[in-house]
Each structure stands twice: as C-alpha cells, then as structure tokens.
Structure 1
Amino acid sequence: MILIEEIKRLKKEKNALILAHLYQSPEIQDIADIVGDSYFLSKKAMESESNLIVFCGVRFMAESAKILSPNKTILLPAKDARCPMADMAVVYKLQALKEDHPNAKVISYINTNLDIKAMSDVCVTSSSALKIMNNIKEDEIIFVPDRNLGEYIGEHFPNKKFILYDGFCPVHERVEESDIFELRTLYPTFEVLVHPECNKPVRLLADYIGSTSELITYSATSSADGFIVVTEEGVLHQMKAKSPNKKFIPLKNSMICPNMKMTTLQEVYNCLLNESNEVIIDEQSRLKALKALQNMHLLGDN
C-alpha cells in the first residue's frame, strides 16, 4: 500500500517514533514501532532517541508523553480524539472533594487530563495501582475518575476509606452480566478475561482481571485454549498475534471505543508530513502533573 510506504519513508527521513495504543485499529498497530498501554508508551517516548513522537491514541496519552518529555515534539494524529472518562473529571468537582476531605490522598488514574493530574498526589495505572496502594499510608483516598477501578482497588484495601469520583468508561460500563452468561453457554471451557474498568457484577464473573497488557500476557501464558475477552476489541489483534492457535471471543455487543478508532493511516501520514497537531501544555501545570507521575514511580518501586 502506497500510503504505508510513504509513512515508513517519512518516519525514517525524520527519525520519528510511532507509538500505538492497544485499542487502536489493527492497521495502525501494524505501522507502529511500539504498541502497548498508554503509560508504557509514554515511557518509551521518553527513553527514545527520537525527538519527534507520533502518538496514536487519545489526548491524555499524548499529554502524558509531553509531561515526561517536554523537549520533544509530540504529535497526536487524530487531534480531536479524547477519552470520555478522562473528560468526566473536572477541576471544580475534584476541588470540592478535596475541600470536603482535607486529609485524603488524591490518587488519579493515568486516564486523566493534565489539569487533574496536576491536582493529584500520585497517578496509578490499572496494573500498578495495587502495588502503589500498599505503599500509601493515608487511610482516606480520593480516587478519580473511574469509580469501577476505584471500587476494585478498594476491595483489596478494606481498612481504607475510598471516596470515588463518579466517572466511568462508557465502553466498559455498558457491559452486563447477561452478555457474559450468553457466551459462557456457548463456550463453557473458555476463560473470561475482564478489565477492572467494568462494574462489579461483571468483574465477579471473571477468571482473570487485569490491565490491557496483563490480559494479553495472561492469554498467552494460560493453558486455556480459548477466552471470552471483556475489554476494548483492539486488544484482540495482539492476543491473536501472540497466540495464533487459541480462540478469542469478543462480546456480541461490540466493545469499541470510537475515539480510539479515530486515528487513520491518512492522519498518521498527514501528521508526519506536516508535523501537525503538536501537543502543547502549560509548563506550570506540567511540573505539577510530573510530580504525580514521579510519585507513581517512587511508590511503585518500593
């Protein structure tokens, strides 16, 4: 395909790095240098010798890369691609929670926009959250924005009080128990893999709960020969690539994030050609948000 060859040519010519989130369309994942979870990609951007980063994802992901790499040019091909859950978290509502609970530690999911990260004490990913929580001494926690992930974390720390911001991922929130029961009848030996952004009744039906990358790793190492996958369908591309002899069944009510699917090959090409859609962030806010990300490393490495 001419467009793919042109993308490869421009990438080499400009010494650019193309990153793609696991929820991106297969053709976008296939032209990327690195595919993974959002924060993993931000770290790879920071570690790369490339100063031009094309981040195929949504806005908060590209912001995280810019927070860590302020001197690099971070481009977002689909400039209007945003995360609905991240956009649910707004400053005035979080400020009200902080005022009502002055002794609480503010923990934000990595799936938050810059302004919320800047108000947070520490960020977590769905894979690092439990480990980080083990190193947090405070008994009162404000968790933003995902109430489902916050509830899941809180179940592991019954001695702490969790104040949950009322946000959610629309793609994961709409999954119902009946969706899984139906497939379990058809595939009784298949394991059910669930992302913690799903609500509790759905999580209770899981054989394994984990982050996007953890679900992929689990499916590759499990002895099961088939899986019912309860997360955004973009992960199926990597699951099938790593385990071509296994079967992966998505829900009949498709779990597709329209924002993640906004990135097209044409937009990646245009972005590289014109170096357009650069992510620019306020330096004062960046430094505040950087502290929350640094605390994530500090608490996650202990």
Structure 2
Amino acid sequence: MDKQTLASEIRELKKQRNAVILAHYYTSPEVQDAADYVGDSFGLSKMAAELDCDTLVFCGVRFMGESAKLLSPEKTVLLPAPEADCPMAHMVEDGFIERLRETYDDLAVVCYVNSTARIKALSDVCVTSSNALAVVSSLPERTIAFVPDRHLGRYIAEMLPEKRFILNPGCCPVHDAMLAEEIKALKAQHPEAKVLVHPECNEAVMALADYAGSTAGIIDYAVCDEAKEYIIGTVGGVLHQIERKTEGSGKRFFLPATKPTCADMDLVTLENVRDCLAAGAGSVYEVAPAPDREKVRARASLVRMLELSE
C-alpha cells in the first residue's frame, strides 16, 4: 500500500478514536510526518499529560508508552510496535536501589525516564536529558543515586561537584558504541564543523563535543547557531527535523560512518500505526496500567519531575 493511502487511513482512524499521534525524534521520517506532535522524551511526556483526547498513539519504545499511561491513566495509550523496547530501561540490578537506601541517609534516587515503571516506583524523581541538571540541582539531598544511565549521570555529576553521585552501570547501547575515532575523522574532513552530541554518549565522544544536550537541544542548537557544518552524535532520525527546520540555510550535517540507529525505534512503521488505531483498546497494542502500588509511586516520580521543571 502506498504512503498516501496509509496516511489517509490513519487520519480517518484518528477521527474515529479521537486520537493524537506522538512520535519521538528517533523514529523514521514518514512516521514523524504522520504524527501530530514530534519531540524528545521530556516534551512528549508533558504533551501526554496535557492533551485533550481519548487515545494516545505513542510512536516510540515501551517505557514512553508506560510513562504516558502513568501520566494519563484515563486515556487509552497505544504502542504501534509493542515489542519495541529500550535495553537501558532494564539495566538496574535488582536490589541496587534498596542497598543504597540502607547505606545512605541523605540519598535521592534520580531515575532517567528511560526506565521501567518498576524502577520509577523505586525512585524519588525522574529526569530527562533536557531537565536533569535543573531537577538534580533543586534537590536538597547531597548524595544522588543516578539510574540507569552512567553516561548522563557522569555528565550531570561533572556540573554539580557539590553533590556526591553514585552511578549505575547502565547505558544506551547505541550511544555507548559511538566511536570517537569516527567523530575525529569527520572533524578532519570538516574542521569548521561543530560537534553536537547527546549526553548518553560515551566519555571519549563527549570530550569532542562543542555542545551536549537532549535531542530537542541538539535541534535547537543546529537551527539557531551560525555555523554552516555540524557533526551530529545521536540517532540519525533526528536529522529529519534538523534538515526540515534549516532548509534553505546552506547548513550541512554529518553522521558518523557507523550510522547511529535504534533498531527498536525502527520497528515503528506507518503500517503498524494504522493497525494499532484500527485495533484500539483491548488489543495487543494497548499499554496496560502498572500494578496499583507501583503505579502510584511511579507516577509520583514523573509528576515531581514535571513540577521541578517548571
């Protein structure tokens, strides 16, 4: 089926379901173009809580759909690719947080939103790469347990030397595997290019950055900055929005030779966006509510994040 016919079917099903489609920057260009809103995890989290609709279609991975359901329990939340998951979300060892709570009196457990509802429920507050510095800065506790991403945790720790950080050994496999040598090779070819990277990247790549920030931050920097060439150190899907917003500017953008690709995000297609809307509530695409006790505590961590980010 051609894309125009698929897009027409999706629009009609959206009307029937009173649905809104949210897509992460890492999804494919055609999925982003079919969405009502495109954003990073922080922007989409806020959007999910505020939208007036009956159904949310979340074009992303499972933790994003779970977070949307926690913030909007009255809405039907659908994941076009229910099998799309985030490996990092599961990288907190059982008992890790409990042991830290037994050891430290002055402890705040800060949970990157790329995590399961269970880990969010064990935490004091969630963060995203957009708001982690602001949220952690505002916490009264001196000792910060940062889970699950060690790279984002290290990046925030470097900017807050007055606090003591305990880092969990998790990471995003895509950003962790990015090669500094490939960034250097691009820099040799384009010496005037600025290097923009996501703080999930490994330390060697971060050391080369002119700017480190969330996907939304990377887009904003590329759009507003005056340079003409940029090396982008994050998942390639972000280029769709950057190139759309800088069209006609003469700016050029380069990805590492090993293109950063999220296989789970790539599972989201126009076909399964259509299929999940057609199936609706009660289908395999629907995100089920978390267990009651977990749901209350996980939602509290997300709500506190939104409050501290205002």
Q: CA deviation at 1:102?
A: 4.3
Match of 1:221 among 224, 229, 232: 224
Matches within 5 A, 1:21-40: 21-40=24-43
CA contact (8 A) 2:17 2:54 kept: no
Q: Is the 8 A contact 2:129 2:214 kept in 1?
A: yes
Specify the SS of the correspondent of 1:17.
strand
Structure 1 position 259 matched with structure 2 position 267: no
- What is the aligned counterpart of 2:178 among 175, 179, 184? 175
User: Residue in 2 aligned with 1:211?
Assistant: 214
Deviates more, 1:145-154 or 1:102-111: 102-111
Provide the C-alpha distance between the structure 2 equivalents of 1:136 and 1:156, rounded to a whole number of angstroms. 14
> Does the CA-based 8 Å contact 1:39-1:61 persist in structure 2?
no
Q: Any idea what SS the aligned residue of 1:20 has?
A: strand
SS of 1:193 mapped into structure 2: strand
- Give 1:238's aligned residue: 241
> 1:50 maps to what in 2?
53
Q: Distance in 1 between the 2:52 and 2:164 partners?
A: 43
Distance between the aligned counterparts of 2:192 and 2:231, measured in 1?
10
For the 8 Å contact 1:16–1:50, the answer to whether it is kept is yes
Question: Which has the larger displacement, 166-175 or 243-252?
Answer: 243-252
TM-score w.r.t. length of structure 2 = 0.94
Q: 37, 41, 44: which one pairs with 2:44?
A: 41
Identity rate, percent: 47
* Aligned with residue 76 of structure 1, among 70, 79, 87: 79
1:272 corresponding residue in structure 2: 277
Change in Cα spacing, 1:108 to 1:172, as seen in structure 2 (3 Å) is same
Work out the number of aligned pairs and report it: 301
Contact 1:91–1:116 under 8 Å retained in 2: no
Query: Quick one: distance in 1 between partners of 2:166 and 2:308?
Result: 20
Contact 2:71 2:303 in 1 (8 A): no
Partner of 2:161: 158
Work out whether 1:124 is the aligned partner of 2:118: no
User: 1:293: Cα distance to partner?
Assistant: 1.5
Structure-2 separation of matches of 1:117 and 1:9:
36
Question: Which whole-Å deviations, capped at 9, do the CAs of 1:124-160 have from their partners, x for residues lacking one?
Answer: 1111111112211211110000000000000011121
- Residue 58 of structure 1 deviates from its aligned partner by 0.4
1:84-139 deviations in Å (ceiling 9; x for gaps): 11121244333233333343110001111100000000111111111112211211
RMSD: 1.2
Deviation per CA, 1:191-246, whole angstroms, max 9, x where unpaired?
Answer: 10011001222111101111010000010000011110000111000000000131
Deviation at 1:45, TM superposition (A): 2.2
Aligned equivalent of 1:114: 117
Please give the alpha-carbon distance, in whole angstroms, between the structure 2 residues aligned to 1:211 and 1:222. 16
Once the two structures are TM-superposed, the CA of residue 184 in structure 1 deviates from its matched residue by 0.3
**Secondary structure at 1:234's aligned position in 2?**
helix
Determine helix, strand or coil for the equivalent of 2:85: coil
Rounded Cα–Cα distance in structure 2 between residues aligned with 1:160 and 1:42: 27
* 1:98 matches 2:119: no
